[in-house]
Amino acid sequence: MCRGQKIRTHSDKFFYPFLKEKIPLTFKPAIFPAQRAVSIFKIFNPIYNLSNIVMKSIFTLAALLLCGLFAKAQHYSPCLFENAVQAMEAAHPGYRSAAKKTYDRLNSGIQNRTDEIYTVQVVVHVVWKENDENIPMSQIEAQMEELNRCYRRRNADTINMRAVFQPVAGDPHIEFNLAEVRRVQTNALFAPTFSLTATTMPDEVKQSDEGGSDAADPDHFLNIWVCKIQPLSIFGQESPILGYAYPPADLDNWPTGSEAPFKNQEGVVIDFRAFGKGSFTVPGVGSLPIEGRTTVHEVGHYLGLRHISGDGFSGLLGIPDCDADDGLADTPNQGFQSQFDCNAAQNTCDEGAGDLPDMIENYMDYSRETCQNTFTKGQVNIMRNVLEGPRRGLLETSSVETPQFEQFIEISPNPSTALFYIKTPADMAVKNLRISDALGRQIEQVSNPATNFIDLSAQPRGVYWLSFYFENGKMSSRKLLKF
C-alpha cells in the first residue's frame, strides 16, 4: 500500500474469475505478458468515455479475449468471496455498499482494546453424495485444531515469518468450539455459475429443501458447510473452487428500502478436499498441500477481512493494480495475488525507498498453504470489532457448548461393552439414528427406532458416533466408547 495515499478497495469493483494453467485454488490472477495485454486494451480506447457500467462490460470482454488468445494462460479462481459479494448485490441491491461501510467503520474502530479470548461456537454440516465426501470426524477435528492454532498464533510455522513483518503479526485471541456435526446425504450438485453480469453461489447447500442442510441459528453459531463444490465453468473452461463466505453487512448501514440477505445464508462453504489436512489435485497442476488454511482464510472473510491485494481488475489479468488495496496500513501494497510458490522475492508493487515485499505469509493472500502463517494486527482489529459489532451474537453463547435441548439427551452406560441405553426429550420424536465409526463410515441407520438402546456387541472396540435426527429437523451427535 502507498503509505498515506487515498486507497481504493476491491469491494468497489466487479470481479470475474479467469483461468490460468499451473495456478490452482484460491482467487489467483492470470499472469499475461503486460505489453500484449495492454495492446488489446488499446482496442477499446475510442470508448473510454462511456459510463462505468459499460466500461466494466468492455473490460470484461477484453479479459475474455485475453482468455481466448492466451490458451496457455489459464487461471483458477477457487475462492469465491468477491463473487459472493457480487451475487448478493445482484439479489439484494445495496449489499455491497453496506458491506463496505461496515468494513470502513470497523477498520477505524478502537485498536486492540483487550486480549480477552472470544469463543465462537461452530456447527459443521457435512453434505455428501459419494462416500469420500462424507468426511470422518478425525478430519473435522483436525480442521478445528488448525483453526484454533491459527487464530491464536500458536501454529508452529510462525517461526518462518520474515523479520521485516514480525512487528505487525497479531494474535486474534479467537477460539472455536465444535458444538455440533450434522450429516446430510444428498443427490444434489452444488455448482457456482458464471455470466458476464453475475456469478451465482451454490447456496443450495444451506437449504434442506434443495438437498442441503439448514443453518443452525446463524446469529449465535458459525455454520460451516462441507461439500463437493463443482468447478466454476467459464465458456467451457473450468476452475476448481475451494470455498467462499459472505462478509458481514451491518443492517444499520443499509439504504432505505433495500432487502437484507437471508440470515440463513451466512457462514462458510468449503470443498471437502480442502477441509482439514491432505491434498487437492488440480488437473494440469498436480497435488497441492492442504494444511487447513483454506478454512482459516474463508473464516477471515466471514469475520470481515478482504484479500490483501484488494482484487483490482487489472491484477486479475496479471498486470499489477497497485491502486487496489485491502484498506489496512500494515499489509504491504500488492498488485495481484501470490502464485502458490512461496516466492519470498515477490514484490508486485515496488514503491521505492522503504518498500516492502509482498506478504506471502498472510492467510488472506494465495501463496501455498505451507507458507501462510499469520494475520496482521490490523486484520485482528477488524475481526475483533466484527465480533463486538455485526456478529456480536456469536459471543452470546460462548459459554454454552451445546444447544439447550441436547442437555436432555442421555446415554448410559458409556463406555459400554455392548448395549447403550438412550433417553431423549419426551417432546422430540427421533426420526432416524445413524451409527458411524471413528472415520465417519456408516455402520447402521435405523428409521423410527422402536427400541431405547443400540447394540454394538458385534463391533470391535473403539470410538463410535451416534447421530440423532429428530422429527422437528434438529440433529445431535454423541461419542460412544466401546470396551
Residues identified as active-site:
298
DSSP state of 159: G
Dist. CA 448–CA 433, nearest whole Å: 8
Other CB atoms within 10 Å distance of the CB of residue 405: 15
* DSSP 8-state code for residue 115: -
- Phi then psi dihedrals of residue 220, to 5 deg: -120, -5
| 160 φ, ψ (degrees, to nearest 5) | -85, 0
Question: How far apart are the C-alpha atoms of 193 and 56, rounded to whole Å?
Answer: 19
Q: Which residues contact 200 (CB under 8 A, 6 or more apart)?
A: 87, 192, 193
Contact 431, 463 (CB under 8 A): no
If we measure between CA atoms, which residue out of 117, 106, 175, 172 comes closest to residue 390? Answer: 106
Contact (CB, 8 A) for 86 and 14: yes
Which residues are CB-contacts of 132 (< 8 A; sequence separation ≥ 6)?
272
Backbone φ and ψ of 209, nearest 5°: -75, -5
Q: Coil, helix or strand for 328?
A: coil
The answer to whether 480 and 464 have CB atoms below 8 angstroms apart is yes
CB 334 within 8 Å of CB 309: yes
The full length of the chain comes to 483
